[in-house]
Amino acid sequence: MKNLRNQVQLIGRLGADPEVKSLNSGTKVARFSLATSDYYKDKEGNKIEDTQWHKIIAWNGSATYADKYLKKGMEIVVSGKLVYGSYEDKDGIKRYTTEIVANDMLILSKKED
């Protein structure tokens, strides 16, 4: 219960295979995008899909798991914390980022055919 103050759980599909790197320090990091979708009906009764894309980052053991098992199109559960950051782009404009740092991941289904 130590992480209840900043905990995120998402169920979605991977938009691409994870990009995995090993840093000079030996630390492993994986990055991937996750799509979550909600559905609602408009005034005419048409089913509308609302998809949100989330940036996920996984470190060390979680990065190894992502590298070994996760593939584009898989449905997974990600549990982690929400992290905000900022940086200056090449034009000197301040940009903001929002990522989920994954603690746990679970595969719900294989890639759709």
pLDDT digits 0-9 by tens, 21-73: 999 999 999 999 999 999 999 999 999 999 999 999 999 999 999 999 999 99
Range of the domain at 32: 8-40+47-109
28 lies in a domain? Answer: yes
pLDDT digits 0-9 by tens, 88-111: 999 999 999 999 999 999 999 876
- Total count of domains within the chain: 1
pLDDT of residue 4: 72
pLDDT digits 0-9 by tens, 64-85: 999 999 999 999 999 999 999 9
16 lies in a domain? Answer: yes
- Per-residue pLDDT band for 113 (boundaries 50, 70, 90) equals very low
1 lies in a domain? Answer: no
| 1, pLDDT greater than 80 | no
Distance CA 27, CA 18 (A): 16
pLDDT of residue 103: 94
Give the CATH number, domain containing residue 83. 2.40.50.140
